[in-house]
Amino acid sequence: MKHWLETYSIIDFISVGILLTAVTLNAFKSIESYVKAYTINSWLLAGLIAVVGVLVNESHLYMAAVLTVLTKGVLIPIIIWRIIRRMRVAHEVTPYISNTLSLAISGILVAVVYASLQGGIFVTGFSRDALQISIAVILISLFIMITRKKALTMVMGLLFMENGLFLAGFSLTFGMPTIIELGVLFDMLMGVIILGIFAVQIKRVFASADLDKLTVLKG
């Protein structure tokens, strides 16, 4: 199995899958598709962890993979679905710029990342592509956060960014100590719950989930 994984460079396939799910965000129009993309992204991330676990024979990576699936692949999407249903908002994500432009910029971002990380200062990880992809995912999700209006798309962007960060850390270190991974996952979970509450409150107070309205809070 190990041999088979290496021959077909499964790691790179999964990494590219993660990148693609992030890029698709630029094209989606509804918040539900965002959640679906996030779910796929998380499962792919967990798969990547498991594959690396097989390659380097580290049993604690299996545990990390299972935890990732449970929280990011199952629990967080469920919470977000519930929030979406509670808010009963219009489901469009209302970007500031057109989807085409958005896609183009994402492409440029990926190119910039690849160009700038070419020197290869990081040689420790299992795959240099994984590092570049993770940085690209971080930038794309940041870009999504910048160009979307709704509070919930912010949360989704943040979640994608966290996946990217996780991948970046993982690609350099073959998995952080389990206690740190647990801590990060728990943080994420709490973050989503709190942000969800905030989003619902913003909707209730401003009668809209558009973050534009928050400018009135400025002193």
Partner 1 sequence: MAASFAALVLLLVLTIFLRRSQRLLITAGFSLAGLASFLAAGAGFLTVAQGMTFRIVVPLGLPDLPFHLRLDVLSGYFLMIIGLLALFVSIYSIGYVRGFLGVRPVTSLVVFSTFFLAGMFLVVLADDALFFMIAWELMAGASYYLVMFEDERLENRRASFLYLLVAHVGAIAILLSFGILAGLTTGFQGFEGYTFDAMREAKHPQALATAAFLLAFFGFSAKAGVIPLHIWLPEAHPVAPSNVSALMSGVMLKTAIYGMMRVIFDLIGVFPWWWGALVLVFGLISAVLGVLYALLQHDLKKLLAYSSVENIGIILISMGLSMIFASFGLTVLSALAMIAALYHTLNHAMFKGLLFMGAGTVLHATHERSMEKMGGLIKFMPWTSALFLVGCLSIAALPPFNGFVSEWLTYQAFLLSPALTNPLLNLLVPLGAALLALTSALAAALFVKAYGVTFLGHRRSRHPAVIHEAPWSMRIAMSLAALACLALGIFPTYLIHWMDPITKFLVGDTISSSAAGFGWMWLTPIAHDRASYSAPVVFVVILAVVAITYLLLHSRAGTIRRGPLWGCGFEGITSRMQYTAMSFSMPLRRIFGFLFSIKEKVHHLPPTTHSAFPGRLQYHLRVRDRAWIWVYQPISDASFWISRRIGRMQHGRIQVYLIYSFVTIIVLLIFSR
Cβ atoms of 58 and 174 within 8 Å: the answer is yes
Q: Specify the stretch interacting with partner 1 by CB under 8 A; choose among 9-17, 68-76, 111-119, 183-191.
A: 111-119
Interacting span for partner 1 (CB under 8 A) from 32-40, 113-121, 171-179, 186-194: 113-121
The H or E element spanning position 156 is: helix 151-173
> How far, in Å, are 46, 149, 197, 208 from residue 170 at the CA level?
11, 31, 30, 38
> What tokens were used for 121?
């200062």
Contact stretch for partner 1 (CB under 8 A) within 54-62, 66-74, 117-125, 166-174: 117-125
| Three-state DSSP state, 120 | coil
Closest approach of partner 1 to the CB of residue 74, in Å = 28
How far, in Å, CA of 46 to CA of 73, rounded? Answer: 8
The 133-172 contact track toward partner 1, x by CB under 8 A, reads: --x--xx--xx-xxx------x------------------
List 92's β-bridge partners, or say none: 30
Which is nearer to partner 1, 61 or 156 (by Cβ)? 156
Nearer to partner 1, 18 or 154 (CB): 154
Task: Please select the residue that binds partner 1; options are 117, 172, 176, 184, rule is CB under 8 A.
Answer: 117
Among 98, 99, 100, 116, binds partner 1 (CB under 8 A): 116
Give the pair of three-digit tokens for residue 40: 């796929």
CB 52 to partner 1: min, Å: 25
Counting Cβ atoms within 10 Å, is residue 115 exposed (0-12), middle (13-18) or buried (19+)?
A: exposed
Three-state SS at 136: helix
Binding mask 65-104 for partner 1 (x = CB under 8 A): -------------------------------x--------
Through-space distance between the first and last CA atoms of the chain, rounded to whole angstroms: 61
Dihedral of alpha carbons 203, 205, 211, 212, sign:
positive
Which is nearer to partner 1, 63 or 142 (by Cβ)? Answer: 142
Min dist CB 28 to partner 1, Å, is 18
Q: Identify which of residues 67 and 192 has a Cβ nearer to partner 1 in the complex.
A: 192
Angle at 190 (CA atoms; ends 164, 148), nearest 5 degrees: 55
Q: Which residues bind partner 1 (CB under 8 A)?
A: 96, 109, 112-113, 116-117, 119, 121, 135, 138-139, 142-143, 145-147, 154, 211-212, 214-218
